[in-house]
Chain A
């Protein structure tokens, strides 16, 4: 009886302590005027998040940010949307207040052009384009344009660093954290994997370096879905290219360190601002024995133009003209100076065999070529296509004639229906290389499985929150800064990523060490600072702690 009473008293004490503690935090700044005009009240903000089953992280950190923002006096309504709806409203129509997004760390995003130009230059704010927030700063625009013109890596980096500084001062979108990929492979049977930022074990280099230790010379690669098409001209999905780039070769490939390397091209010489001479590596052959010639490269560019291949078309856009000098030498003329050309155009384009595709183009026409199944894909890459049974299995056989032959006899690729199946496959020994990332809990379990190694790979993609600068209240820098200070970055990493992530503050993530500006630090979680910024900008709070625009500003946006 006594015990019960004691418990009750203790509980009461704890509760009241809690109430005082929480209570002392919430009412932001004591209201001075109860009679703030209603037209100055900041409207309710709708924060879109993904559905929890599409991406639990983007869902949860949205909720966490909203909780903090409410403490600043904002009315926040969180709405989960299916991804197709979210991308339609957010990226296409740009009809949103704020939404959570993740930039995937793709190979072509290692070059800073995506983050510096595509996501923030004012010309990129149209329908479906990537300047989602509607950022428009002429000073910034100048730098974003300039970095495209300068070929010299060091000089270009200086400008890219400057651009990052300006972006950090404007906070156009609120950068939060990058996530480390936790991946695993069968170390009992294979050694020497080469993971890469953004791609982990799906990296191109991994398939050249991975080496059998035991009897199984064929490495089994598990991925949670199959590729969509074997026809690269019709592909748009990252994973399609991660697969077909093993069959088709590229002139330049981005190394694991993030710097472009000459690959099928032996040398690339810049003749003037807009002219490059490219020499092909001699002795390369397609899988059917035909030699790789300069004419195949020129044809590949033409093929993309004629068929309007959606993905490649954008990449070859800077190219004005391709001339054949001799069997192995080409001259590339550009429309205008464009520095990302080597990494992003030459580094993405495939070399298509002219003797095969010219026939298809003639027989089926441009549209028919896009719809061709290319079931017996012939390229000049390190692996030949053995067979492909959609949604079941694919076999890629080593090309022994390749100039840097792989160490495994073949890759067998198995598409799973979901990630759980993939993890089970790794545990039972059905697969050797995990093409997806593990949740920390899954990783802990796999660590105990004998013969499996778990490794962690940083990513240059990151989570962030877009705020629509075309609308009040996000047109005000003070509001963006306050919201950014109120994001509990460390808590998000600790709780949602279970520590497997890095706080980010710049538009180029820290994993991309060559381009990332180390002077820019992530903003700390600091509600007082956030309130102070708002107060200094003239924002006021009513008795209930709701926030009002500074004198002279009224709510002008209506849904």
Chain B
């Protein structure tokens, strides 16, 4: 087991090296250069050169690459071209905003999806099952911004139950980080965007769970459990569902990894100051350090969660070993 983990960690390191190199060169291949984004502000030529120097853009690419890699090893992401501030300060807070929003959305999506999927499989062929699957697919295919606007129209503009956007009420003063995210006001603002994102995500766990369940339900041990005289509910939850969870766990880990990139459209529609918007803006502005950092974070998370998924298999299914 430990051998396996050490082995995997080493592989992760190599993957990360390749990933960070790819990220570095990928953004520099993009058309345009970061300086042209500052032109608008009437920068004199000398000042432009000063900026180039400040950010090391006057050096050859390979030197920039070495600086970037050595910074990365020390856990530094550099200074944002656009904000002129360390990248960590810019994205630090946004990572939390996005993590909370996406966390809430994924919890809802997976809670509903896993149980929903199990039930769909159980009542396969009924009208409810067909309707439920279609509904989940509908939200999956509808553009998120559209869903978001409809949700806003109903729950905010018409019914007035929830605020139309933002993370807190206008004029709220917060004193600590704790205050920022732990308050009824914050939760109140979280509901609609989380719900919108969840509606979009639900189809994946639901359909994966349903398929896995249908397969499991034909297995002999289900027959056996029924023969033992267990109630339908016990058969469903303790035998069928548990054995169908493996693929769902894989999907969950992948989705969490990508979720840290946020849902740009959800964040835009609900004026949520998250990482997704920042990521897109950074690419548009050729703000390499911010773009690199966000993609790197996302990459690290996906790779790490893959490992977690593999380890979880062992716990969920005792037949899986790591030798």
> Which residues does A use to contact B, with CB under 8 Å?
82, 84-85, 87-88, 91-92, 104, 106, 108, 114, 118, 126-130, 218, 220, 228-229, 231, 234, 236-238, 308, 310-311, 313-314, 317, 367, 370-371, 373, 386-387, 389-393, 395, 412, 414, 416-418, 421, 424-425, 428, 430
Q: Report if A231-B84 is in contact (Cβ < 8 Å); known contacts: A82-B32, A126-B45, A313-B44.
A: yes
Kindly report which residue of chain B lies nearest to residue A393, judged by CB atoms. B170
Q: Chain A residues near B47 (CB, 8 Å)? A: 308, 310-311, 313-314
Q: Mark B147-184, 1 if CB is under 8 A from A, else 0.
A: 00000000001000000111110111110000000000
Q: Chain A residues near B284 (CB, 8 Å)? A: 84
Contact across chains for A88 and B83 when beta carbons are under 8 A apart: no
Contact across chains for A218 and B171 when beta carbons are under 8 A apart: yes
Spot the interface stretch: B85-93, B103-111, B129-137, B302-310: B85-93
Q: Cα distance A234–B84 when bound, in Å?
A: 6
Contact across chains for B171 and A92 when beta carbons are under 8 A apart: no
Q: Mark B27-61, 1 if CB is under 8 A from A, else 0.
A: 00001110111111111111110110010000000
Contact across chains for B85 and A373 when beta carbons are under 8 A apart: yes
Q: Report if A237-B36 is in contact (Cβ < 8 Å); known contacts: A228-B84, A231-B84, A417-B268.
A: no
Q: Specify which of A82, A234, A237, A317 is in contact with B44 (CB 8 Å cutoff).
A: A317
- 5 closest A-B pairs by CB: A84-B32, A391-B273, A236-B41, A234-B84, A314-B44
Q: Cα distance A424–B163 when bound, in Å?
A: 12
> Which residues does B use to contact A, with CB under 8 Å?
31-33, 35-48, 50-51, 54, 79, 82-86, 89-90, 93-94, 157, 164-168, 170-174, 267-269, 271, 273, 277-278, 284-286
Contact across chains for A310 and B170 when beta carbons are under 8 A apart: no
Q: Specify which of A237, A317, A373, A391 is in contact with B41 (CB 8 Å cutoff).
A: A237
Kindly report which residue of chain A lies nearest to residue B54, judged by CB atoms. A367
22 CB contacts below 8 A, A to B, read A82-B32, A84-B37, A91-B36, A91-B39, A128-B39, A130-B42, A218-B171, A229-B84, A236-B38, A308-B50, A310-B47, A310-B48, A311-B47, A313-B47, A367-B54, A370-B54, A373-B89, A389-B93, A389-B273, A390-B93, A421-B268, A425-B164
Q: Cα distance A19–B42 when bound, in Å?
A: 49
| Max chain A C-beta neighbours (<10 A), residue from B31, B35, B39, B286 | B39
Q: Report if A128-B84 is in contact (Cβ < 8 Å); known contacts: A91-B39, A392-B273, A414-B170.
A: no
Q: Cα distance A389–B50 when bound, in Å?
A: 29
Q: Cα distance A430–B170 when bound, in Å?
A: 8
Q: Cα distance A393–B171 when bound, in Å?
A: 8
Q: Chain B residues near A220 (CB, 8 Å)? A: 170
Contact across chains for A424 and B164 when beta carbons are under 8 A apart: yes
Contact across chains for B271 and A417 when beta carbons are under 8 A apart: yes
Q: Report if A310-B43 is in contact (Cβ < 8 Å); known contacts: A234-B84, A371-B84, A418-B268.
A: yes
Q: Cα distance A387–B85 when bound, in Å?
A: 18
Q: Cα distance A228–B79 when bound, in Å?
A: 13
Tally A-B pairs: CB < 8 A.
Answer: 139
Q: Chain B residues near A428 (CB, 8 Å)? A: 157, 164
Contact across chains for A128 and B43 when beta carbons are under 8 A apart: yes
Q: Cα distance A236–B51 when bound, in Å?
A: 11
Q: Specify which of B157, B164, B267 is in contact with A417 (CB 8 Å cutoff).
A: B267
A314 → B minimal CB distance (Å): 4
Q: Chain A residues near B36 (CB, 8 Å)? A: 84-85, 87-88, 91-92
Q: Chain B residues near A238 (CB, 8 Å)? A: 40-41
Q: Cα distance A127–B44 when bound, in Å?
A: 10
Q: Report if A88-B32 is in contact (Cβ < 8 Å); known contacts: A371-B86, A393-B170.
A: yes
Contact across chains for A229 and B44 when beta carbons are under 8 A apart: no
Contact across chains for A389 and B174 when beta carbons are under 8 A apart: yes
Q: Cα distance A128–B172 when bound, in Å?
A: 43
| Max chain B C-beta neighbours (<10 A), residue from A85, A386, A391, A414 | A391
Q: Chain A residues near B37 (CB, 8 Å)? A: 84, 87
Kindly report which residue of chain A lies nearest to residue B51, judged by CB atoms. A310
Q: Chain A residues near B40 (CB, 8 Å)? A: 87, 104, 236-238
B94 → A minimal CB distance (Å): 7
Q: Report if A416-B271 is in contact (Cβ < 8 Å); known contacts: A308-B50, A390-B93, A391-B94.
A: yes
Contact across chains for B166 and A414 when beta carbons are under 8 A apart: yes
Q: Cα distance A311–B46 when bound, in Å?
A: 11
Q: Report if A370-B164 is in contact (Cβ < 8 Å); known contacts: A92-B39, A220-B170, A395-B171.
A: no
Q: Report if A310-B50 is in contact (Cβ < 8 Å); known contacts: A85-B32, A370-B84, A430-B164.
A: yes
Q: Chain A residues near B42 (CB, 8 Å)? A: 106, 108, 114, 118, 130, 311, 314
Q: Cα distance A424–B149 when bound, in Å?
A: 12
Q: Chain B residues near A104 (CB, 8 Å)? A: 40
Q: Cα distance A87–B170 when bound, in Å?
A: 37
Q: Cα distance A85–B33 when bound, in Å?
A: 8
Contact across chains for B50 and A371 when beta carbons are under 8 A apart: no
Q: Cα distance A236–B285 when bound, in Å?
A: 14
Q: Chain B residues near A218 (CB, 8 Å)? A: 171
